[in-house]
Amino acid sequence: MARRHFTSFVCNVGLALGAGAVQASDISLRHGGVTLLGELVLAEQEVGPLVVLTHGTLAHKDMELIETLQDALAEEGVSSLAHTLSLGVDSRSGMADCTMVHTHRDTDADGEIAAWIDWLRTRGHDDLALMGHSRGAKQVARTAAARDDLAAVILLAPSTKASAERQRAAYDVLLGDLEKGGEAGRFDLGSTATVAALSEAASARPDDELLVPNLLYCPDATVTGAAFASYYPPEAAGAETYADAVDAPILVIAGGADKVVPGVPAAFMPLRDEALRFEVIEDADHMFLDFYAEDAAVLIAAFLADLPKPEGIVDFETEHAAAYAVADVDYGEYLAQECASCHRAGGQDVPAINGYEAWQTHLALAQYENGERENDAMRLVARSLDEEQKIAVAAYFATLDAE
Ligand code: HEC
């Protein structure tokens, strides 16, 4: 599949152009005895937190919706990491194989999302938002409800309690039909008449491999009792079940023509307040095909750009605000001659730093110096400037307009 045609920096007369360039890399991470696969897409000039993206039921990170979202978010300046839930399979890729023995549980996703958060944090990405699609959104909401270290939560066509109940009702109909056709007996859980009773019978045999009529979208599936019971728990839950317990601001996006989870507005409209923003993209289906994913990315980027800055950065800026205000901008301009050999005179390249707020340039210089950011050229530059000079040059670049 042709993807990420703009992964490498675009070159022009030997200079890398900043705008729109992104860097994509495949990441693997050991967790729970298997290797998890992820794709990190870093936007050149980051806006807001990095978004960790979780796909829907039995899907994967390379599905069209997730790829399109990552690319479109990067164009809006939003970095992201999309990951494929392992479902207990080593280096799983592509759609889940229905014929495997399903040992995975719905709640396994929470541990995998947490593992990616830890991985990102060890690499200096502290400011994180979680986003999920469909069932992934429910898993993200549940994960977010249990933490207090997230900048934002984005729920795209999230599974709702009503959609879970509708699935169960459909399952009950299926069980009834099997019973009438005399077919129910070929399943290990027998002709137990309802999904609730099946769930109870399955949870009593957590480690047994059972043949069941249906698991999620898989027809005759072999599952462990624990796996079945986790996907069909006694109480149906949806993303809205957890929304109240989420500390971070939430953005919910519904597709106006979503036939898979049609109840999103009904579930979330009543929850709207300062902490929960709700948007409908008219005519978008559950997969946001036909450019609606790009529309979603624009909404998401705007939402993230509006967030209050994370505390560490607010502190850094506040701490130095007085110094920026009285900084010697002329001295900064003089010092900036040194920067021009790479960033060009106006600071518009490699990457562009014109129009950066003073704290952005200042913080970046401090981070190159202390090793939090790695770049040999910039470390030398940062080391050559004392604190007063860093502030002066940062104050000078803040006076230049962005392109
Ligand atoms: C020898 C070339 C070179 C010189 C000289 C140089 N820079 Fe850089 N600068 C770079 C490169 C390359 C990067 C990107 C490094 C990276 O990927 O982290 C960078 C990154 C930066 C960034 C971070 C941009 C971002 O969005 O992450 C800032 C801020 C910056 N430089 C400021 C300066 C200032 C101020 C000066 C002059 C005092 C300067 N640079 C001089 C090459 C240079």
**C-alpha closest to that of 167 among 265, 262, 94, 86:** 262
339 lines ligand 1 (CB under 6 A): yes
Q: Which atom of ligand 1 is nearest to the CA of 368?
A: 18
What is the rounded CA–CA span in Å between residue 35 and residue 401?
Answer: 45
Q: Report the chain's terminal Cα–Cα distance, integer Å.
A: 34
Q: Are residues 113 and 151 in the same domain?
A: yes
Three-state DSSP state, 269: helix
Give long-range contacts, CB 8 A cutoff, 24+ apart: 16-22. 16/349, 16/350, 16/351, 17/349, 18/44, 18/45, 18/348, 18/349, 18/350, 18/351, 18/352, 19/44, 19/352, 19/403, 20/44, 20/75, 21/351, 22/71, 22/74, 22/75
Three-state DSSP state, 30: strand
Per the structure, the complete domain to which residue 387 belongs is given by 311-397
Residue where one domain finishes, among candidates 280, 305, 330: 305
384 lines ligand 1 (CB under 6 A): no
Q: Which of 11, 316, 331, 342 to mutate to test the pocket of ligand 1 (most atoms within 8 A of CB)?
A: 342
The 10s digit of each residue's pLDDT in 2-22 is 333 333 333 222 233 334 557
pLDDT, position 66: 96
Residue 257 lies in a domain: yes
Q: Which atom of ligand 1 is nearest to the CA of 385?
A: 38
Nearest CA to ligand 1 atom 39: 339
The β-bridge relationship of strands 152-156 and 250-255 is: parallel
The residue ranking higher by pLDDT, 45 or 139, is 139
Any idea which of 98-107, 117-126, 276-285, 371-380 has the lowest mean pLDDT? 117-126
Alpha carbon of 120 to ligand 1 centroid (Å)? 23
Residue where one domain finishes, among candidates 266, 281, 305: 305
Alpha carbon of 361 to ligand 1 centroid (Å)? 9
- Considering the chain, what is the average pLDDT of its residues? 87
341 lines ligand 1 (CB under 6 A): yes
**C-alpha closest to that of 112 among 160, 52, 167:** 52
The CATH number covering residue 248 comes to 3.40.50.1820
4 lines ligand 1 (CB under 6 A): no
Residue 1 lies in a domain: no
